[in-house]
Amino acid sequence: MNTHLDELPSKLPERGSSQKRQIVEEMLVSFIHENGTKILGTAKLYVKKFNLAKDSNYVDTIAQDIIQETVIILLKKTEEELVKLNHIAWVNNVILNVIRNYQRKNKRLTIVSNISDFQKNIAFQDRELSEEQILDILIKKIEQQPTIDNKLFLDKILSLVGKEFEEIIKLHFYEELDGKELAAHLGVNEGTARVKLCRAKKALLTVLENHNKS
Amino acid sequence: MPEKQISQENLREDIIYLYVKAMDEGDLETASMVVELAATDTELARVIDEIDTAYQEEEGILVDSEEKRLVKDILYKSFPSAFNDSEEPKPVTVGDVVVRLLSENKVSAIDKQSVNNLINSDLLLPIMINSRTLKHLANNLGLQASERFWNNFRDAAIALVMCRSNSEAQLAARQAKTYKKEKTRNSNDNK
C-alpha cells in the first residue's frame, strides 16, 4: 500500500485536548510551586514602580490580581510555548503586558511602535547617555581649559555629582570596573551595583550638561 | 575581544541603563521593551533579574510566610486539582484511632502494652460507634483494656469519622464545581 508522505503526521497518535490541558496545568503548577514567591515579588515591584496602586495598602491586592491574570493567560498557552517558562524574563514580559492592559483601562498610553524599532533606536534615543560621550565631554573640557588643573576640574565635577556617586564613578570610569567586579568592590550585590552605577551616570550627565550651559 | 562582541556588550549596557532609568521614572513602556528583549538574551535577563532583586530590597518587598500563603491561594484558585483533591479521604481504621489516643496521651500505662500492637491495624471501624459495637470489636481484636480506654476510644473514633466526613463533603462540593465549570467550557467551545 502506498502512503503519501504528507499523510504521515496525521496518522501519528495525537494527545486529546484534555490531556494537553492537563500537561499545561501540571507545567504551570510546578512553575508556580518553584517560582511563585519570586513572580509575586516582581509583580509587587512593578505595581509600586509603575504607580498602579493609588494607596500603598492596595499593592498586595493588585499584585495578586496581576498574577492571577497572568496565570489565566499562561493557561491559554500551548505545552510548546510553556517551555519558555524556563526563562523568567519571558514570564516577566507576560506580567508586564498584563500591567499595561491594567493601566490602559485607567489612562491612555503612548505606545512605542514595535520592539525592532526600539532596538534600532536605543542608541539614538539616549545617545547622550553613552559612556564614550561622557568621557568625550570630560576630555574636551580638560583640553579646552588648559589653564585649569585637570585634577581640579575633575574634582569639581565629582563634588557636584555628590558623595553618594563619587566612589562608583571613580571605580567605573577610572578603574574600569563593571558588573560583578564593581559589586565586589562596593560590597553589594550585582543588581544594587548596577542600579547605583546607572543613577551615578545620570547624575554625572546632568552635572556636565549644566556645566556646559554655564 | 571581537568588535562585534564589544558592540553587543555596549548595546546591552545601554539597554540596562535604560531599564534602570525607566524603573526610576516609572516608564512602563520602556521597561516592557527591555524585558521583552531580555526574553531572548540570557545575559541581559540575568542582569535584569539581579536589578529587580536589588529594587525589591530597596522597596522593602520581602517574601515572608504570608506571601507564600498568597501564592498558595493563587494556585488553589487557578488549579484546585493541584491539591490532590482527587484523592478521596480514606476510611478510619482502628490503627488511626489508637495513634490519635497515644499522641494525645489518653492511654494509661496499664493499657499501653496491649494497645501498642494495634498501631498498624487496618481493621475498619464499625459503621455505628456505640458501646455494643465496640464490645464486639474488642472481642474480634482479643483486646483486654480498661473501661476508660474504651470510652476514650469511642470519643476519638467519633471525632475522626466526623472530620473525614467533613473532608468528603468539601471534596464533593469542589468536584461539583469543577464539573459545572468544565460543562460550561465545553458548551462554550461547541458554540
B119 — pLDDT class (breaks 50, 70, 90): confident
* Alpha carbons B160 and B60: distance in angstroms, whole number: 44
CA distance B171 to chain A (A): 20
Q: Strand pairing partners for A137?
A: none
For B100, how many CA atoms within 13 A lie in the half-sphere containing its CB? 18
Q: Does A111 touch chain B if contact means CB atoms closer than 8 Å?
A: yes
Structural element, H or E, at residue A205: helix A190-213
Say what the pLDDT of residue A113 is. Answer: 45
Read off the pLDDT of residues B52-87 as tens digits, 9 standing for 90 and up. 999 999 998 876 666 777 777 777 777 766 555 555
| Residue B141 phi, psi dihedral angles, 5° rounding | -80, -15
CA distance B45 to chain A (A): 6
Question: Please, are residues A172 and A200 in contact by the beta-carbon 8 Å criterion?
Answer: yes
Nearest to B71 among A28, A37, A188 (CB): A37
Could you say which architecture CATH assigns to the domain A127-213? Orthogonal Bundle (1.10)
Nearest to B39 among A67, A93, A118 (CB): A93
CA distance A1 to chain B (A): 37
Say what the pLDDT of residue A110 is. Answer: 43
Question: Please, are residues A123 and A130 in contact by the beta-carbon 8 Å criterion?
Answer: yes
Question: Please, are residues A46 and B56 in contact by the beta-carbon 8 Å criterion?
Answer: no
CA trace torsion B80, B164, B96, B88 (10° rounding): -40
Question: Please, are residues A87 and B39 in contact by the beta-carbon 8 Å criterion?
Answer: yes
Q: Does A32 touch chain B if contact means CB atoms closer than 8 Å?
A: yes
**Contact residues for B174 (Cβ-Cβ < 8 A; gap 6+):** B80, B85
**Chain A residue at shortest CA distance from B67:** A37
Q: Does B42 touch chain A if contact means CB atoms closer than 8 Å?
A: yes
**Contact residues for A166 (Cβ-Cβ < 8 A; gap 6+):** A158, A159
Hey, is A210 helix, strand or coil? helix
Read off the pLDDT of residues A172-200 as tens digits, 9 standing for 90 and up. 887 888 888 999 999 999 999 999 999 98
Domain range annotation of chain A:
12-106, 127-213
On the question of pLDDT at A109 being above 50, the answer is: no
On the question of pLDDT at B169 being above 60, the answer is: no
* Alpha carbons A52 and A106: distance in angstroms, whole number: 9
Q: Which residues 163-202 of A are in CB contact (within 8 Å) with B?
A: 178-179, 188-192, 194-195, 198-199, 201-202
Residue B95 is which amino acid?
G
**Contact residues for B75 (Cβ-Cβ < 8 A; gap 6+):** A29, A32, A33, A36, B82, B83
ipTM score = 0.71
On the question of pLDDT at A7 being above 90, the answer is: no
Q: Which residues 167-186 of B are in CB contact (within 8 Å) with A?
A: none
On the question of pLDDT at B18 being above 60, the answer is: yes
Read off the pLDDT of residues A79-89 as tens digits, 9 standing for 90 and up. 888 888 878 88
* Alpha carbons A128 and B112: distance in angstroms, whole number: 83
Grid cell locating B28: 512602563
Question: Please, are residues A36 and B56 in contact by the beta-carbon 8 Å criterion?
Answer: no
Q: Which residues 81-110 of A are in CB contact (within 8 Å) with B?
A: 84, 87-90, 92-93, 96-97, 99-100, 103, 109-110
On the question of pLDDT at B128 being above 90, the answer is: no
Q: Does B32 touch chain A if contact means CB atoms closer than 8 Å?
A: yes
- Which of B6, B25, B36 to probe by mutation at the A interface, max A CB count within 10 Å? B36
Greatest mean pLDDT among A160-169, B15-24, B101-110 lies in B15-24
- Is the pTM above the cut of 0.95? no
Say what the pLDDT of residue A128 is. Answer: 46
Q: Does A25 touch chain B if contact means CB atoms closer than 8 Å?
A: yes
Q: DSSP string of A77-142?
A: S-TTGGGGGG-HHHHHHHHHHHHHHHHHHHS--PPPS-HHHHHHHHHHHTGGGSHHHHHHHHHHHH
* Alpha carbons A99 and A103: distance in angstroms, whole number: 6
Contacts of B79 in chain A (CB under 8 A): 25, 28-29
Q: Does B36 touch chain A if contact means CB atoms closer than 8 Å?
A: yes
* Alpha carbons B191 and B189: distance in angstroms, whole number: 5
Say what the pLDDT of residue A2 is. Answer: 42
